[in-house]
Chain A
Amino acid sequence: MAEKMALAKAINESLRKALESDPKVLVMGEDVGKLGGVFRVTDGLQKDFGEERVIDTPLAESGIVGTAIGLALRGYRPVVEIQFDGFVFPAYDQIVTQLAKMHARSLGKVKMPVVVRIPYGGGIGAVEHHSESPESLFAHVAGLKIVSPSNASDAYWMMQQAIQSDDPVIFFEPKRRYWDKGEVNVEAIPGPLHKARVVREGTDLTLVAYGPMVKVCQEVAAAAEEEGKSLEVLDLRSVSPLDFDSVQASVEKTRRLVVVHEAPVFFGSGAEIAARITERCFYHLEAPVLRVGGYHAPYPPARLEEEYLPGLDRVLDAVDRALAY
């Protein structure tokens, strides 16, 4: 029953399915109702499920997450939208001090089935605060789970699983891939939410990525193949928990690892992966783990973002450096 649909549409279908199958599921956020969200991810949902379930909220991110916590305490399963990555910070306090800790501080008495959807990343020529990748700022916080799909099928199924989770999930949506189409089988049996997937097998080096960078890494692998290099591409899908076992298994085979993300390299998820894989695969590695990502500078104006974002050439350059050891 596979159907081809854009990633944004896949999330829309997934939300629709969740709203249909569980009356406790709510969709909340700025402009998610009548407008259907600025990216139309929630298009048509309010029309079909009403204003009580698909809620246009006041323009206040802390209020959105804070009231979602209260609704979860009452037994609801809110899926809230933060309109853009750079706007999540007014809600950061509620997410970090309240949402993440509620289950632990209640000694397990209170569950927090809240999904925070955040369209993230660059590459769409946007103005300031509309292109950031703040996943590490959340991955550092115990109590949260952090996922990011790279394709339409994952977007559909990972959203289903995130909504079913009794833990808070920060769901990072790769906004520049919203319009990319892919096969979605809504009757498939999905794999575990937090398991990585090998999207391309290879023998010479492992590329690890998630969200928007998976596509870039696939292009890199294709280009490298023309030069006779065999790269394995691993889509992490989940940043917290992070499937180190899959990364380890791949690196033990290829002996080289390059991690790619849009977020700044400094203290980014690549740093954590490099440290742990070095510890786990010390005697397998033929080269230091390299990272390709954003620089330690504010996300630049749109005319410079192509230079800032990891692209085909920069990743290939890192691949060459790793292979040169």
Chain B
Amino acid sequence: MTVESTAARKPRRSAGSKAGTTGTKRTTRTTPKKGADPDLVQLLTPEGERVENPEYDRYVEGITPDELRGLYRDMVLTRRFDAEATSLQRQGELGLWASLLGQEAAQIGSGRALNDDDYVFPTYREHGVAWCRGVDPTNLLGMFRGVNNGGWDPNSNNFHLYTIVIGSQTLHATGYAMGVAKDGADSAVIAYFGDGASSQGDVAESFTFSAVYNAPVVFFCQNNQWAISEPTEKQTRVPLYQRAQGYGFPGVRVDGNDVLACLAVTKWALERARNGEGPTLVEAFTYRMGAHTTSDDPTRYRHDDERAAWEAKDPIARLRTYLLDSDHADEGFFAELEAESEALGRRVREAVRAMPDPDHLAIFENVYADGHALVDEERAQFAAYQASFADAEGGR
């Protein structure tokens, strides 16, 4: 490798003016980088360079420096929250945690593309999307602490409960979208799932149903390369985005570590949904930097050098470089954000530690909406049984 080519890959931090809302003049390249995947939509290279894309640029054209900093802030705070949750699991405060480390751009980019009246169907790892929807991070932790199985009202943020059974939610999203279409509403629906879920029959059926009924749904697949220990090669022989073709709707692969590209492509897909053009599959090509969950040990099935290669494509680092290069953010911004991150971590920590165990009778709550004789009977028996201890203690 020549000195020149090495230099060319370095971020050109010093060059150019400070004008414009996005600084595209100085940090934009029109020709794709040599060796870049032509099928991969990328607007921001791993080195933090803005590259032009005639198809998708228009979806981020008007983005302001303030909004760019907002995306950065979202990603940093999500990562901080995620790290705090991992720590809380290590400290015994949570039973389990499914980290989103490395997938911040895919989640924030797609999450920020949504309108308020759009509806989200997440897996159990969509902490960044939850953040975008305004779901309080501490609410996500109830199920991982074991005090409930989903502690938020799906309808207050149009963010459905986490779904643990792999792929099931894609059908719920499709049905919901069929309902949106029946209502003649202007909203769209987004279903999150992963590369592992792409093998599930429910995902295939959701593709079929959404295509047949032209449902306004976006299938957002975060291909993070690993389904616990199984690489994507164990799920598919074709790139996942190409699956859409067989169902009769478009599929696109986007750089899942590029928040701008994820924002643009999701906006495009949502626009299609809103225009009555039916479903779209977006494959966000990303990487699960951490373990599947805190119970997993990735050293048993993958090499550190793979992780290191993806580390160089970090979604947060590249936007930081871009913000600095284009003078959209200064050190003061980053310092302030650092303080905000720590405050968030502290708040989450304290909230989790203060989370009370549920009342014992909660076992019987909400099993049915209209009640059920057996549940009533067993609740009464259980309550009497529990009360018998109180009586015994009281009698002493």
Partner of B212, one of A58, A72, A194: A58
Q: A242–B366 contact, CB under 8 A? A: no
Is A109 part of the contact surface with B, judged by Cβ < 8 Å? yes
Is A296 part of the contact surface with B, judged by Cβ < 8 Å? no
Which A residues are CB-close (under 8 A) to B178?
A: 67, 70-71, 74
Is B174 part of the contact surface with A, judged by Cβ < 8 Å? yes
Q: How far is B213's CA from A57's CA once the two chains are assembled, in angstroms?
A: 9
B177, B205, B365 pick with most chain A CB within 10 angstroms: B205
Q: How far is B208's CA from A194's CA once the two chains are assembled, in angstroms?
A: 37
Q: A106–B368 contact, CB under 8 A? A: no
Is A41 part of the contact surface with B, judged by Cβ < 8 Å? no
Is A191 part of the contact surface with B, judged by Cβ < 8 Å? no
Q: How far is B175's CA from A111's CA once the two chains are assembled, in angstroms?
A: 15
Q: How far is B184's CA from A52's CA once the two chains are assembled, in angstroms?
A: 12
Stretch with Cβ within 8 A of B (4 or more), from A93-101, A130-138, A181-189: A93-101
Is A76 part of the contact surface with B, judged by Cβ < 8 Å? yes
Q: B182–A52 contact, CB under 8 A? A: yes
A56 CB to nearest B CB, Å: 10
Complex interface bits, B203-223 against A, C-beta within 8 A gives 1, otherwise 0: 001101100100000000000
Which A residues are CB-close (under 8 A) to B180?
A: 74
Which applies to chain B's interface (DSSP): helix, strand, loop or mixed? helix
Q: A62–B161 contact, CB under 8 A? A: no
- B36-73 at interface with A (beta carbon < 8 Å): none
Which B residues are CB-close (under 8 A) to A72?
A: 175
B177, B182, B365, B374 pick with most chain A CB within 10 angstroms: B182
Which A residues are CB-close (under 8 A) to B163?
A: 98
Q: A103–B367 contact, CB under 8 A? A: yes
- A131-165 at interface with B (beta carbon < 8 Å): 142-143, 145, 165
Q: Size of chain A's interface in residues, with CB distance under 8 A? A: 47
Which B residues are CB-close (under 8 A) to A76?
A: 179, 182
Which A residues are CB-close (under 8 A) to B153?
A: 106, 109
Which A residues are CB-close (under 8 A) to B369?
A: 103, 108, 111-112, 165-167
Is A90 part of the contact surface with B, judged by Cβ < 8 Å? yes
Q: Residue of A at shortest CB range from B217?
A: A70
Q: A104–B366 contact, CB under 8 A? A: yes
Is A75 part of the contact surface with B, judged by Cβ < 8 Å? yes
Is A73 part of the contact surface with B, judged by Cβ < 8 Å? yes
Is A110 part of the contact surface with B, judged by Cβ < 8 Å? yes
Is A285 part of the contact surface with B, judged by Cβ < 8 Å? no
A residues whose Cβ falls under 8 Å from a Cβ of B:
52, 57-58, 60, 62-63, 65-76, 90, 93-94, 97-98, 101-112, 142-143, 145, 165-167, 194, 240-244
